[in-house]
Amino acid sequence: MSPYAHITGWGMAVPERVLTNAELSLMVETSDEWIFSRTGIRERHIADPEQTTASLAVEASLEALRIARLKPADLDLIIVATSSPEHIFPATACLVQDRIGATKAGAFDLLAACSGFIYGLNMATQAISSGSVHTALVIGAETLSRLVDWKDRNTCILFGDGAGAFVLQAAEERAGVLSAVMRSDGSGSDLLTLPGGGSRFPTTIDTVTQGLHYVQMNGREVFRFATRVMSQSTQEAVAKAGLRLEDIQLVIPHQANQRIIETALKNLEIPPERCFINLDRYGNNSTASIPIATCEAFTAGRLKPGDNIVMVGFGAGLTWGAAVVEWSGPFHGVRKLRPARLRLYARIRSFILRLLRRIDAWMWGRNNP
Ligand code: ACO
């Protein structure tokens, strides 16, 4: 029988700096009343200059590993779902691999915008159930504050920075990720886009002058699309898991807009008490929103072993998807992790590898003039 992918560790990291609606109203023509009534957002976290998508991902990952009682070398696979990677390449996942010292892991980035975490969760689950990997780390990490135009009130009020991570481990017992659905519709690719900086519009003075390096969005259309697909994909994933909506104890939706979530719940006839919402304090953290909400739901005592949860999201692409998870918690283990020490070991290891690479290049040059 194929193994199941249990969620055995979880962690989150958000920057300390909080940007309130009141502060935003000094930057663009808006108000706390407008933002809160249209979105449900009160404030969001914004990265300091020295914080990056990878640094937030590393923090969340080490916390997830600590809870799972695993060391980085136990990981076979690292997936970073992100809409704000550090570079087009190398993958942010490789930066994380190096900084935590995951010496045996393959690492890649996954781009499905805000649905990326659901996609990543499903990909890691499939890798585990095929027997190809035993232990995987799935991360959603963002510094979208670097990609929005802080003069554009249509977009800058929505997004925040942060990271969340899950450790997935193989086990025979039926629990963990029970089902997932992934969907896309590229005919809506123009509704939410960051057009510049890729191979279609490589960065030039012209692209920068036109602001093509900023997020552009047709909010009304994205809103209509989102309300439709959130309920659809929830129903599909629940049916695929062989469950009914009544069997679901908690919905953890992508935290983009309170009204989108409320409409989806209404369509599904799920009462608001069975949904976890924290977007008032974070805004839209894109791929990080579902794992961050999961961490907070756990801390708030809303997740118990045996609970069935739906995680559901949508995003640019257009993409959308949902996963049904039976919460299980960490496997029993005794190892205590010291994140600060692990980071130090990883830095020393990375330094030695870079040094060896230079020595090797020098020797090779000497022997092959
Ligand atoms: N403050 C004040 N007024 C504003 C603001 C603002 N921040 N932003 C827009 N307005 C104005 C508009 O200019 C417009 O004025 P007009 O009628 O004079 O033209 C009016 O408010 C209404 O604008 P709408 O866009 O129709 O407002 P709406 O009620 O649709 O709310 C919002 C806008 C909040 C963006 C909503 O459409 C939404 O949340 N859409 C979904 C967006 C989303 O979830 N995106 C993330 C997807 S996930 C990912 O992949 C990253």
pLDDT tens across 262-298, in order?
Answer: 999 999 999 999 999 999 999 999 999 999 999 999 9
228 CA to middle of ligand 1, Å? 18
Report the nearest-CA residue for atom 38 of ligand 1: 219
Confirm if 323 and 177 have CB atoms less than 8 A apart. Answer: yes
pLDDT tens across 325-338, in order?
Answer: 999 988 876 677 78
| Residue of 223, 262, 285 to test ligand 1 pocket, by largest number of atoms within 8 Å of CB | 223
Q: Which residues are catalytic?
A: 114, 254, 284
The yes-or-no verdict on residue 300 having pLDDT over 90 is yes
How many angstroms from the chain centroid is the CA of residue 280?
18
Residue 30 CB–ligand 1 contact under 6 Å: yes
Residue 192 CB–ligand 1 contact under 6 Å: yes
pLDDT tens across 338-348, in order?
Answer: 888 889 999 99
Residue 256 CB–ligand 1 contact under 6 Å: yes
Q: Yes or no: is domain 4-326 CATH 1.10.10.410? A: no
Task: Say how many C-beta atoms besides its own lie within 10 A of residue 61's C-beta.
Answer: 34
Rounded to an integer, what distance in angstroms lies between the CA atom of residue 313 and that of residue 311?
A: 7
pLDDT tens across 172-218, in order?
Answer: 999 999 999 999 999 999 999 999 999 999 999 999 999 999 999 99
Q: What is the mean pLDDT of residues 140-159?
A: 97
202 CA to middle of ligand 1, Å? 28
The yes-or-no verdict on residue 369 having pLDDT over 70 is no
Q: What pLDDT, on the 0 to 100 scale, is given for residue 339?
A: 85
Angle at 5 between CA 71 and CA 292, to 5 degrees: 70
Sign of CA dihedral 85, 89, 90, 91: positive
225 CA to middle of ligand 1, Å? 14
Residue 263 CB–ligand 1 contact under 6 Å: no
Which amino acid, residue 172?
Answer: E
Residue 202 to residues 208, 215, 222, 328, Cα–Cα distance (Å): 10, 15, 26, 46
Confidence of residue 130 (pLDDT cuts 50, 70, 90): very high
Q: What is the mean pLDDT of residues 41-46?
A: 98
Q: What pLDDT, on the 0 to 100 scale, is given for residue 329?
A: 86
Which amino acid, residue 214?
Answer: Y
Q: Where are the beta strands (DSSP E) in 14-52?
A: 18-20, 43-45
End-to-end alpha carbon distance in the chain: 57
Q: What is the mean pLDDT of residues 231-236?
A: 97
Task: Say how many C-beta atoms besides its own lie within 10 A of residue 328's C-beta.
Answer: 19
